[in-house]
Amino acid sequence: MAKNFDVVVIGGGPGGYIAAIRAAQLGFNVACIDEWKNKDGKPAPGGTCTNVGCIPSKALLQSSEHFEHAGKHFADHGINVKGLDLDLAKMLARKDQVVKQNNDGILFLFKKNKVSFFHGRGAFAKSSGDGYEIKVSGASEETITGKHVIVATGSNARALPGAAFDEERILSNDGALRIEGVPKKLGLIGSGVIGLEMGSVWRRLGSEVTVLEALPTFLGAVDEQIAKEAKKAFDKQGLKIELGVKVAEVKSNKQGVAVSYTSATGESKILEVDRLIVSIGRVPNTIGLEPDAVGLKLDERGAVLVDDQCRTNLPNVWAIGDVVRGPMLAHKAEEEGVAVAERIAGQHGHVNFNTIPWVIYTSPEIAWVGQTEQQLKAAGVQYKAGTFPFMANGRARALGDTTGMVKFLADAKTDEILGVHIVGPMASELISEAVVAMEFRASSEDIARICHAHPSLSEATKEAALAVDKRTLNF
Ligand SMILES: Cc1cc2nc3c(=O)[nH]c(=O)nc-3n(C[C@H](O)[C@H](O)[C@H](O)COP(=O)(O)OP(=O)(O)OC[C@H]3O[C@@H](n4cnc5c(N)ncnc54)[C@H](O)[C@@H]3O)c2cc1C
């Protein structure tokens, strides 16, 4: 006898597990199926984000930053470190422990919210009555039915044609997070978020890192002024970034990897490295989902086709997160998960795509929300800009990290905030004030009139808002 559920969620990443919890909170009988296993074969819900994405990358970014501070910056504070030594095995084990805490936390949350968890792969079998039969293949095989199905099967790393991931020499994000010895020379293809974060980790730990990027501009999606400031900082740190390259061939053997490419000036070059991380984007994942069994439509990129409410072409089948259109971000997946659960309950769940924050957790951090200056120019929007450098912020000076700035873009007539861009210390935390402001459709003057604690980095946000009206107080 099939077990019947109101809602079956396929995929237990940030989109899926949050959707399952919200649906359970709303009184539905919910199942969540996830196939991720840890190295002991045990369930490891949390998806890419928890296992090989957001969480382990931030754990290693933190550890490697401590290492760099101890080696290069503690002396500025009068702290002399002698005999500094890297225990990479311990650093990686700590990262694994952080991941496990998150996996266990999700299993606990499923219990707390009475979500039935199935460890295995979920595949559409057929439509049945007023719902769908889903076959679960794992340690045991069973079939469950759901009146509603939420597909949250995520994404996989895109490989370079002719250079499949072996996770030994040619690494995806997975292998990049568990290299067992610091490579002397590390190559990276792709200077997007993941590439820059992984490059930063291994550079801090001692690798000589070269990043090859096909696009002619650095961080094209980021506000140009902010991207330039970030590039200056990365150059200073010794992260070599070559733009406008065309990779011709990647050859690897036990000794290392050779990347043949043409530089922006048309020169033929070869980059020889011990390991190569390829981070050229991610592809939506529907492997093993059997969408054809029920006629679920995919688009030309292989993403599940959805409308702006995450409805697929099938009644009561929804899809969220990396497997659908839109930014591949954990918090976007979560927001869609909550919104879909609420729509199933007849509520008006919504996701505001204009206020989704973006963060790159390098040093300096880069974070933004809303439109960039180049987007506003292209759209012919009249705007005012205000910037404030961390160099003029007391807390940043005390921290010893004065790189970067906060930048506000506001409508020229109404003063409504259209975009906020930050490069500098704790940009990932500072951006949330801008997100709140934009959600409430605040003006730059609203932020400028709010009392901010002193001394704090957030004063740079207030000052950048004042700068829109050309009346900074500390610069
Ligand atoms: C290195 C790296 C760093 C990142 N850092 C950040 C960051 O700092 N901030 C941020 O917002 N985003 C970050 N991301 C992106 C983020 O991880 C994704 O956007 C997010 O995980 C997408 O969530 P999801 O639930 O859609 O899919 P996923 O997290 O990919 O989860 C999908 C889950 O479904 C399971 N699954 C797939 N098919 C089936 C099936 N048929 N049956 C059962 N289970 C199935 C998978 O095993 C997986 O557990 C990062 C990504 C990477 C690779």
Q: What is the pLDDT of residues 298-311, one digit of tens each?
A: 999 999 999 999 99
CA-closest residue to ligand 1 atom 9: 54
φ/ψ of 124, rounded to 5, equals -60, 130
Residue 262's pLDDT band (boundaries 50, 70, 90)? very high
Mean predicted confidence (pLDDT) in 136-148: 94
Residue 2's pLDDT band (boundaries 50, 70, 90)? low
Q: How far apart are CA 433 and CA 398, in angstroms?
A: 22
First to last CA, the chain: 72
Distance (angstroms) between ligand 1 centre and the Cα of 321 equals 8
Atom of ligand 1 nearest to the CA of 320: 26
The residues carrying an active-site annotation are: 454
What residues does 155 pair with on adjacent strands?
284
Q: Order across the sheet with 246-252: list the strands.
A: 246-252, 257-262, 268-273
Closest residue by Cα to residue 184 from 201, 153, 165, 208? 208
Helix, strand and coil in the chain, % to nearest 5 = 35, 30, 35
Kindly tell me the burial class for residue 265, based on how many C-beta atoms sit within 10 Å of its own C-beta (0-12, 13-18, 19 or more): exposed
Pairing mode, if any, of strands 131-138 and 116-128? antiparallel
DSSP for 63-128, written as a single string? HHHHHHIIIIIGGGGT----S----HHHHHHHHHHHHHHHHHHHHHHHHHTTPEEEEEEEEEEEEE
Q: How far apart are CA 335 and CA 151, in angstroms?
A: 14
Q: What is the pLDDT of residues 309-356, one digit of tens each?
A: 999 999 999 999 999 999 999 999 999 999 999 999 999 999 999 999
Mean predicted confidence (pLDDT) in 239-248: 96
What residues does 272 pair with on adjacent strands?
258
- Is residue 166 scored above 90 in pLDDT? yes
CA-closest residue to ligand 1 atom 45: 11
Kindly tell me the burial class for residue 449, based on how many C-beta atoms sit within 10 Å of its own C-beta (0-12, 13-18, 19 or more): exposed
Contact 43, 117 (CB under 8 A): yes
Residue 120's pLDDT band (boundaries 50, 70, 90)? very high
Distance (angstroms) between ligand 1 centre and the Cα of 448 equals 38
Query: How many angstroms separate the Cα of 445 from the Cα of each of 389, 416, 463?
Result: 19, 9, 11
Mean predicted confidence (pLDDT) in 87-98: 98
Q: How far apart are CA 176 and CA 196, in angstroms?
A: 12
Q: Ligand 1 in contact with 322 (CB < 6 A)?
A: yes
Q: What residue type is 374 in one-letter code? A: Q
What residues does 117 pair with on adjacent strands?
32
The best mutation among 9, 110, 153, 286 to test binding of ligand 1, ranked by most ligand atoms within 8 Å of the C-beta, falls on 153
Contact 191, 241 (CB under 8 A): yes
Residue 243: the pLDDT is: 97
